[in-house]
């Protein structure tokens, strides 16, 4: 097997890699600092579409992680990029928060519940039965169904929360229509992210805590992959998957010297 080229750019997931329940994971600050000092292109990624990149920059900064706005890439931004490429200046009925609505406004989309081109489903703290019913009827009337990410649950201090993938399944059951998921593990999110920082997959690495999203997305995008054990996938679970990360490490602290 041919040896991989040296890593010149880095993509890393956020939750479970850099932070956990609002607290930085040890080594995350050193990793970001080293990345910024190196001048290498990098992105911090999240499948969560609730927050804008500017919101996330402020939240991370309060935790002591200084990540510039332009180095943050969300499933909402990937979804907006996809829609802008597919159908510029279109319209959408959106279930989601400011991260998603702002991204769609920024590409010139009209947000409407009157004959929209798309129904776009994202993350929200308060999924409304009325909004889901509206989405079902619009999809039945011909709107195309897009979802920001397939994650079925999200973390909270009290335990798992239903997330975009679970609500998408409900809408699919009611309409018979599967959504197109723009976020991880779709390699589209990785490739559009790489394009924004002028990076190439053959010289890029993806760091994540989930085999089914982060590692799979990095693998399918042609990147070197690192699985950290500070998030959802434990060491014992790795063998359950038909694919493997390039490298398994305990935490982000183990990768500081790789930059």
Note if 214 is an active site residue.
Answer: no
Catalytic residue among 13, 29, 117, 151: 13
Q: CB of 233 within 8 A of CB of 210?
A: yes
Note if 13 is an active site residue.
Answer: yes
CA distance 54 to 68: 9
CA distance 246 to 224: 6
Catalytic residue among 15, 117, 209, 214: 15
CB half-sphere exposure, 151, CA atoms < 13 A: 25
Catalytic residues: 13, 15
């Amino acid at each position: 097997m041919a040896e991989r080229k040296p890593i010149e750019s880095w993509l890393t997931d956020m939750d479970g890699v850099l932070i956990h329940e609002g607290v930085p994971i040890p080594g995350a600050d050193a990793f970001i600092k080293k990345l910024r000092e190196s001048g290498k292109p990098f992105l911090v990624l999240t499948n969560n579409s609730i927050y804008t990149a500017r919101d996330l920059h402020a939240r991370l900064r309060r935790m002591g992680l200084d990540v510039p706005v332009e180095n943050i890439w969300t499933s909402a931004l990937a979804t907006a990029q996809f829609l802008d490429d597919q159908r510029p200046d279109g319209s959408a009925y959106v279930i989601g928060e400011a991260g998603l609505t702002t991204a769609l406004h920024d590409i010139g989309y009209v947000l409407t519940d009157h004959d929209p081109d798309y129904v776009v489903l994202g993350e929200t703290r308060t999924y409304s039965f009325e909004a889901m019913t509206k989405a079902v009827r619009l999809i039945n009337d011909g709107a195309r169904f897009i979802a920001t990410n397939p994650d079925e649950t999200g973390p909270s201090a009290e335990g798992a929360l239903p997330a975009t993938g679970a609500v998408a399944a409900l809408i699919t059951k009611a309409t018979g229509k599967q959504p197109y998921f723009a976020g991880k593990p779709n390699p589209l999110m990785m490739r559009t992210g790489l394009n924004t920082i002028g990076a190439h997959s053959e010289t890029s690495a993806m760091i994540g805590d989930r085999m089914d999203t982060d590692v799979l997305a990095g693998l399918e995008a042609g990147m070197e992959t690192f699985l950290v054990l500070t998030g959802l996938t434990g060491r014992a679970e790795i063998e359950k998957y038909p694919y493997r990360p390039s490298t398994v490490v305990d935490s982000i602290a183990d990768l500081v010297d790789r930059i």
